[in-house]
């Protein structure tokens, strides 16, 4: 069976799970998203595209942006980056404060909020216009000029971003944040608000499946080693305290966001993105994980 038939069959199967999760409601802008949306898109390195359902509709990518921000910072900062943020799974919720105290303001990894906030701080240090440069990189990766910040979401994040403010302030007290707290939060809330479709996300993540090169244009964004490392981090840290379960059930590097998006890669072959806004108790898309579990089961393609 081809990928198109497989994703259509999976979409039919998983609809029975609608209603079991809960749409993110920590900000009003996300709480309004219709719960029963479902999009799936696959892009292959060879240039084939497959999609079904709401795969062309843009949604808030939220924490998926943490991978793009890291892909922007890492080549610029180099290995010194790992003096500011660790590479170990946290086993804690995405916005947890607890480990920061034991680890003197050094976050466990770049894909929890604390780690992503340090990466944002590095973007501010190394790029003249970090918000604009991040948007341009995202458009370049996705080969789409149609990607924007959703300013309503960014404003909502700022208004209610008390936990993120606490994380930045705590890390600043340990000298692990250099820029003013307000600037770090501003760039971080904008990156979270990036709106993209499954198709755009799958295309943007092909670079990670293709050893750091954008397949469509041939441009190199990461070295081979950097691409390997980012994939390793997605595998071990991409799903917060559910990273083990995702590796166990799906077996691919990937990243989720509280907007209900998940993107995963099969290195050397393709990227697949799913959007279904209802979340499980870990803040990951409930239906999205099931879609990817069925995909690797039906195709026999995981990294293991």
Q: Which residues bind ligand GLN (CB under 6 A)?
A: 62-63, 94-95, 113, 157, 164, 192, 257-258, 283
| 67 flagged as catalytic | no
Cβ distance to ligand GLN smaller for residue 210 or 285 = 285
Nearer Cβ to ligand GLN (215/257): 257
Q: Are 172 and 106 in contact (CB under 8 A)?
A: no
- Under a CB-based contact definition with an 8 Å cutoff, are residues 103 and 87 in contact? no
Please tell me which residue in 3, 74, 149, 240 is annotated as part of the active site: 240
Residue (113 or 176) nearer to ligand GLN, CB: 113
Residue 283, classed as helix, strand or coil, is coil
On whether the CB atoms of residues 70 and 227 are closer than 8 A, the answer is no
The torsion angles phi and psi of 275, rounded to 5 degrees, stand at -130, 120
Q: Determine whether 258 is an active site residue.
A: yes
φ, ψ of residue 261 to 5 degrees: the values are: -90, 150
- Which residue is catalytic, options 77, 258, 274, 287? 258
Q: Which is nearer to ligand GLN, 30 or 202 (CB)?
A: 30
Residue with tokens 């709106």: 195
| 240 labeled part of a ligand binding site | yes
Give the integer Cα–Cα distance in Å for 248 and 242: 10
CB of residue 69 to ligand GLN, shortest distance in Å: 12
In a 3-state reduction of DSSP, which class is residue 174? coil
Point out the catalytic residue in the list 3, 14, 23, 63: 63
CB of 134 to ligand GLN, least distance (A): 15
Phi, psi of 39 (to 5 degrees): -130, 145
Q: List binding-site positions.
A: 63, 113, 157, 164, 188, 240, 258
Residue numbering of the annotated binding site for substrate: 63, 113, 157, 164, 188, 240, 258
Annotated active-site positions, please? 63, 66, 188, 240, 258
């Amino acid at each position: 069976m081809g990928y198109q038939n497989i994703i259509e069959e999976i979409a039919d199967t998983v609809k029975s799970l609608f209603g079991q999760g809960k749409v993110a409601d920590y900000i009003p802008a996300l709480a309004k998203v219709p719960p029963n949306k479902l999009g799936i898109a696959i892009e292959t390195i060879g240039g084939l595209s497959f999609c079904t359902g709401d795969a062309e509709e843009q949604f808030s990518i939220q924490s998926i942006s943490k991978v793009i921000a890291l892909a922007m910072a890492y080549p610029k900062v180099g290995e010194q980056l790992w003096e500011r943020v660790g590479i170990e799974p946290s086993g804690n919720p995405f916005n947890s404060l607890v480990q920061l105290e034991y680890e003197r303001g050094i976050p466990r990894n770049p894909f929890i909020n604390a780690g992503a906030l340090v990466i944002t701080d590095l973007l501010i240090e190394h790029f003249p216009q970090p918000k604009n440069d991040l948007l341009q990189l995202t458009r370049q990766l996705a080969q789409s000029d149609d990607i924007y910040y959703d300013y309503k979401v960014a404003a909502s994040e700022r208004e209610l971003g008390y936990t993120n403010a606490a994380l930045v302030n705590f890390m600043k007290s340990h000298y692990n944040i250099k820029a003013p707290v307000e600037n770090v939060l501003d760039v971080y809330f904008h990156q979270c608000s990036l709106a993209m479709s499954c198709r755009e996300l799958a295309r943007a993540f092909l670079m990670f499946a293709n050893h750091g090169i954008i397949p469509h244009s041939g441009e190199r964004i990461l070295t081979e080693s950097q691409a390997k490392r980012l994939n390793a981090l997605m595998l071990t840290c991409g799903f917060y305290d559910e990273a083990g379960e995702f590796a166990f059930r799906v077996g691919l590097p990937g990243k989720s966001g509280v907007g209900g998006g998940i993107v995963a890669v099969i290195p050397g072959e393709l990227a697949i993105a799913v959007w279904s806004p209802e979340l499980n108790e870990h803040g990951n898309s409930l239906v999205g994980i099931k879609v990817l579990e069925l995909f690797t089961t039906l195709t026999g393609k995981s990294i293991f």
